[in-house]
Structure 1
Amino acid sequence: MAKAAAYRLPTDRPQVMGILNVTPDSFSDGGQHAVPGAALAHARAMIDKGADILDIGAESTRPNSVPVAQEEEWARLAPVLEDVVGLGTPVSIDTYKAEIARRACAAGAVIVNDVWGLQKDPAMADAVAEAGAFVVMMHNRAGIDGDLDILGDIDSFFETSMELASRAGIAREKQILDPGFGFGKTIDQNFLVLNRLDTLKKHGLPLLAGASRKRMIGAVLGADIEDRLYGSLAVHMTALLKGAAIVRAHDVGPHADCVRMLEATSLERNPN
């Protein structure tokens, strides 16, 4: 827990959060890193390619996924979590269950990435506060409504999440917002959110964008999941230009390169 309390999210440059799924059924890479050795090797590879944060998850949250019991989720995490933490790169735990968050932070995770924005498990906000961890509060919906004012819904959802965080004692500087690309939204709503992402800065918190390989990209390009890299880069670079502080990606190397180029374009260079 002390490690979580001591962590500070860097603000001098955008952060690349590498995805490490130790699941058999995630939509993009399910099963590839479910074996501890494979998970650790992939974590090392992402660090070598420029990952600033590793986001490890043991339950798929893709559409129509089957919920995983708490002990099954922990059984998938336990063999790999401490070894991944031991690599030295900050670790985020992708879970909406308070007990998993507690155990993961005790093992060294410094961020809790909750796809239900503290609103699924009533004990989650307290668990994050007790650990002194950062929290990513993602917008989500149980269903899709194409007629919904999605930006208004996101604002209302975030207000509730921020209130839960504040009430539990999670410091304001440890709160991060994620608009939830691909979760409870139509394709058009996803792109509306992307185009208006800068309006979410009014909440005064860092923004995370996670559209890696998602259906919104496949819908435009007609590309299968494994062929969505360039689309993912385009969406994430747009998000960064509109104020995102973190991009969550499967393909860390290309994203790290794009972040470096984006940084370079903001520098005044001497032509001589």
Structure 2
Amino acid sequence: MTGLPEWDRCAVMGVVNVTPDSFSDGGQWFDTDLAVKHGLDLVAAGADLVDVGGESTRPGAARVDEAEELRRVIPVVRELASAGVSISVDTMRATVAERAIEAGALLVNDVSGGRADPAMVPAVAAAEVPFVVMHWRGQSIDMNNRAVYEDVVGEVVAELRTSVNRAVEGGIAPERIVLDPGLGFAKDAEHDLALVAHLSALRQLGRPLLVAASRKRFLGRVLADDGGAPPPARERDAATAAVTAIAAREGAWAVRVHEVRASADAVRVARAIETAEAGYLENAANAAGAL
């Protein structure tokens, strides 16, 4: 029993940022009641689970203290879980993860992959919950300086393998681990695009894959106008849905998005295409066998 939720298609993880400084929504859901309502709205729009976080990880962001992160996150997790919502907690702190699990969170999504807090891996192992291990090279305040690669796909795969081994050695069951390539974290646009183009290489690590492209800078770069100015984050949702469709066709376990409806539609279309493809191949094989 992995505790990892399963669907017959790529899942959609909706994002609730309980922060005043998120790059995507500028603190729109900082109030607890508004955050809870937003989480319920995401589920109504098609989210399979909701990722609640209280600390911005946008490039250049400074960390908040533990007490403030707990104040932001735990009431939202508790209210959404009590309403029957499947909750992931987005945190780099073991104490926050433990308290969120007590409040009803089913999964821990740590952008540092357990590296920011040495107590995280033991805490997750003890709780026996799924753990998202993201590719990470350092805190948001200076991560752009770490976006140096000779082979971004090969290096991300190798570094994720190291993080998985560390988590397993710390007591987390391999079957509870989900991988995230960390789009936008210590990566520039070319790195992010290369990783999306090579999701199959990440899947060779043998673990479910979470793809979190929503509204990120590399999409802004792709959509930039003739003068090089990217559109605002909220105008990147159609591009996000395009990545969702690609990720779903590549077998991703889930995508993490801010605007749910378009991605919920995209994963269902991708699943329908997979089903049609399988049926076509089966029919063709049966026809060949009958000759």
On whether the aligned pair clears a TM of 0.5, the verdict is: yes
Indicate the residue corresponding to 1:179 in structure 2: 181
Asked if the contact 2:74/2:103 (under 8 Å) is kept, the reply is no
Q: Distance in 2 between matches of 1:74 and 1:166?
A: 27
1:239 Cα deviation after fit: 1.8
Quickly say closer, same or farther: Cα 1:44–1:147, change in 2 above 3 A: closer
Asked if the contact 1:106/1:131 (under 8 Å) is kept, the reply is no
Q: Distance in 1 between matches of 2:152 and 2:220?
A: 21
RMSD between superposed Cα atoms in Å? 1.7
Q: Distance in 2 between matches of 1:65 and 1:74?
A: 18
Asked if the contact 2:136/2:182 (under 8 Å) is kept, the reply is yes
Task: Pick one of 130, 136, 139 that aligns with 1:134.
Answer: 130
Asked if the contact 2:10/2:251 (under 8 Å) is kept, the reply is no
Q: Distance in 1 between matches of 2:275 and 2:199?
A: 24
Deviations 1:231-255 (A, max 9, x none): 1111221122222110000011111
Segments of structure 1 that go 5 or more residues without pairing to the other structure are: none
1:11 Cα deviation after fit: 4.5
Task: Pick one of 57, 61, 79 that aligns with 2:75.
Answer: 79
Q: Distance in 2 between matches of 1:145 and 1:60?
A: 19
1:147 Cα deviation after fit: 4.2
Task: Pick one of 263, 268, 273 that aligns with 1:255.
Answer: 263
Q: Distance in 2 between matches of 1:230 and 1:144?
A: 29
Q: Distance in 1 between matches of 2:7 and 2:39?
A: 23
Q: Single out whichever of 28-37 and 63-72 deviates more from structure 2.
A: 28-37
SS of residue matched to 1:60? coil
Quickly say closer, same or farther: Cα 1:27–1:204, change in 2 above 3 A: same
1:156 Cα deviation after fit: 2.4
Indicate the residue corresponding to 2:105 in structure 1: 109
Identity %: 41
Asked if the contact 2:91/2:111 (under 8 Å) is kept, the reply is yes
Q: Distance in 2 between matches of 1:149 and 1:97?
A: 30
1:7 Cα deviation after fit: 3.3
Asked if the contact 1:209/1:244 (under 8 Å) is kept, the reply is yes
Q: Distance in 1 between matches of 2:78 and 2:256?
A: 21
Deviations 1:104-148 (A, max 9, x none): 111111110010111121111111111111000000123333443
Deviations 1:37-78 (A, max 9, x none): 111111111111111110000000000001011111001113
1:92 Cα deviation after fit: 0.4
Q: Distance in 2 between matches of 1:131 and 1:93?
A: 13
Letter in 2 for 1:64: G
Indicate the residue corresponding to 1:161 in structure 2: 163
SS of residue matched to 1:17? strand
Task: Pick one of 62, 66, 78 that aligns with 1:66.
Answer: 62
Q: Distance in 2 between matches of 1:8 and 1:207?
A: 12
1:22 aligns with 2:18: yes
Quickly say closer, same or farther: Cα 1:175–1:265, change in 2 above 3 A: same
Which is greater in Rg?
2
Indicate the residue corresponding to 2:287 in structure 1: none
**Normalising to structure 1: TM-score of the pair?**
0.93
Asked if the contact 2:153/2:201 (under 8 Å) is kept, the reply is no
Indicate the residue corresponding to 1:51 in structure 2: 47
Residues 228-247 of structure 1 aligned to structure 2 (within 5 Å) = 228-247=236-255
1:6 Cα deviation after fit: 7.8
**Normalising to structure 2: TM-score of the pair?**
0.87
Letter in 2 for 1:139: H
Quickly say closer, same or farther: Cα 1:8–1:156, change in 2 above 3 A: closer
Segments of structure 2 that go 5 or more residues without pairing to the other structure are: 139-144, 225-230, 281-291
